[in-house]
Amino acid sequence: MKIKRFVISIIGGIAVVLLLIVGTGATTILNTTHAQSATLGGPYLVEKGKITGQKELGPNRTQFTYTANGTMNGNMEVTDTGEFESISKGEPAPGLITTKNGVITTTGGSETANYTGLDVGNYTDYQGASAYSTNSTGKLSFLNNNLGIYKGETEEGGNFVLREWHWK
């Protein structure tokens, strides 16, 4: 158990470093038609979900819970549940830094994959990276030690759409 947490921490750290290094470049790639280029290909995960809960943790810190339904690799139906904590950044660059933890589950619940993510943006548009871990030997096995980058959009009512690509 400690090794899994260590691996997830290391992978999360790598995601943070990649986000810092790539910075605006990732935003530019994900905000343009280049997201469908040979560099990233099509997204392996497309999901629609809703924020299901919200709790103020302190000044500029809010915890949210969410649930989503999605399609992975074009034909595998999955659910995604988890929570994230957003920290508001003040002036001169208002926005959010968000950390999240979730679980992807196949239909019927036979396989799961855990992930830790980090994103930046604001309440409606954000981009980030997810680091996955799973013991699955089936459909979700490709997620083990996978790093994905994603782009999400949230509406005022808490509904969101997220697309995620393999970071290769």
**R_g over Cα of the chain:** 15
**What is residue 41's predicted lDDT score, i.e. its pLDDT?**
82
Domain 2-166 of CATH type 2.40.160.20: yes
pLDDT digits (tens, 9 = 90+) for 7-17: 445 555 554 44
**What is residue 74's predicted lDDT score, i.e. its pLDDT?**
92
pLDDT digits (tens, 9 = 90+) for 67-89: 999 999 999 999 999 999 999 98
Find out whether 79 and 108 touch, Cβ atoms under 8 Å. no
Of 156, 147, 105, 103, the residue nearest 128 (C-alpha): 147
Sequence spans of domains, the chain: 2-166
Rounded to whole angstroms, the Cα distance separating 4 from 134 reads 10
